[in-house]
């Protein structure tokens, strides 16, 4: 019996060669940040300037003012994806010891409300906001809930996460910055940290309601 010219469905890729979904997503974020920066439109190019341009909130190299002197960074994990965020955007970190109070008719990205230290805080489904609901696989977040909350500086939201990894200082040169001008898709993606192969996230821009108005590290 002749062997088929092409194995077709009988060809199996070794399991180790297949990317885990979280690793594939991290690669997608890296490509997104890379292409977004390369393809962002820059202001009209002028050959010479007769006088210095007025000061801008972002330098031409795309580094935000708050990051120029270096900044403390928190590294954390959400659904297997390692993310980083400037510590200056976080008020405090707390263990999630009980599920947030669910609200009827709530959007899927809002896990519920938590009463803490005399405040009522909306707890956000960070994995859904970053990765997208359709890519979360079969995880049941009721059975395997988040374990920590990062409370935003503005105090309105808490971002649920699975693991708090470590903290460290980052120099702006250690980040591949993404301009807000290129950020119509994933506006919360501030850049990439090549040393840790992870995305730098602007948590304030991740929150859906805040996205509609001002907010975030660049304002």
User: Which residues of the chain form contacts with another protein (CB under 8 A)?
Assistant: 5-6, 31-32, 34-42, 45-47, 61-62, 176, 179, 181-182, 184-185
Q: How far is CA 23 from CA 15, 17, 27, 29, 145, in A?
A: 14, 12, 6, 10, 21
Q: To the nearest whole angstrom, how small is the minimum distance from the Cβ of residue 18 to another protein? A: 14
Nearer to another protein, 45 or 142 (CB): 45
Q: Count the alpha carbons within 13 Å of 82 in the hemisphere toward its beta carbon.
A: 16
Distance of CA 30 to the CA centre of its chain: 11
Q: How far is the CB of 185 from another protein (least distance, A)?
A: 7
Q: Is 4 or 105 the residue whose CB approaches another protein more closely?
A: 4
In angstroms, give the least distance from the CB of 27 to another protein: 11
The CA-atom distances, in angstroms, between 194 and each of 31, 33, 175, 205 are 12, 11, 7, 22
Between 27 and 154, name the residue whose CB sits nearer to another protein. Answer: 27
Of 110 and 190, nearer to another protein (C-beta) is 190
Tell the smallest beta-carbon distance from residue 116 to another protein (Å).
39
Alpha helices in the chain (DSSP H): 21-38, 126-130, 203-206, 208-211
Q: Min. distance of Cβ 5 from another protein in angstroms?
A: 5
| CB within 8 Å of 37: residues ≥ 6 apart | 62, 176, 177, 178, 179, 182
Tokens of 22: 């979280």
Integer Cα distance of 96 and 119 in angstroms:
15
């Amino acid at each position: 019996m002749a062997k088929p010219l092409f194995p077709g469905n009988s060809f199996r890729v070794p399991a180790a060669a297949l990317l885990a979904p979280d690793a594939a997503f991290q690669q997608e974020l890296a490509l997104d940040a890379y292409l977004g920066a390369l393809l962002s439109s820059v202001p009209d190019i002028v050959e010479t300037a007769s006088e210095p341009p007025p000061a801008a909130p972002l330098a031409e190299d795309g580094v935000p003012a708050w990051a120029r002197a270096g900044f403390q960074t928190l590294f954390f994990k959400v659904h297997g994806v390692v993310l980083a965020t400037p510590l200056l955007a976080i008020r405090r970190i707390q263990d999630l010891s009980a599920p947030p109070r669910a609200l009827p008719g709530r959007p899927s990205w809002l896990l519920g409300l938590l009463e803490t230290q005399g405040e009522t805080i909306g707890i956000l489904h960070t994995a859904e906001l970053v990765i997208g609901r359709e890519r979360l696989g079969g995880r049941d977040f009721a059975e395997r809930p988040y374990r920590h909350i990062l409370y935003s500086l503005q105090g309105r939201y808490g971002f649920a996460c699975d693991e708090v990894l470590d903290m460290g200082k980052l120099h702006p040169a250690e980040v591949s910055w993404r301009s807000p001008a290129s950020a119509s898709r994933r506006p919360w993606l501030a850049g990439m940290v090549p040393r840790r192969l992870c995305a730098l996230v602007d948590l304030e821009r991740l929150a859906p309601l805040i996205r509609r108005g001002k907010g975030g590290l660049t304002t």
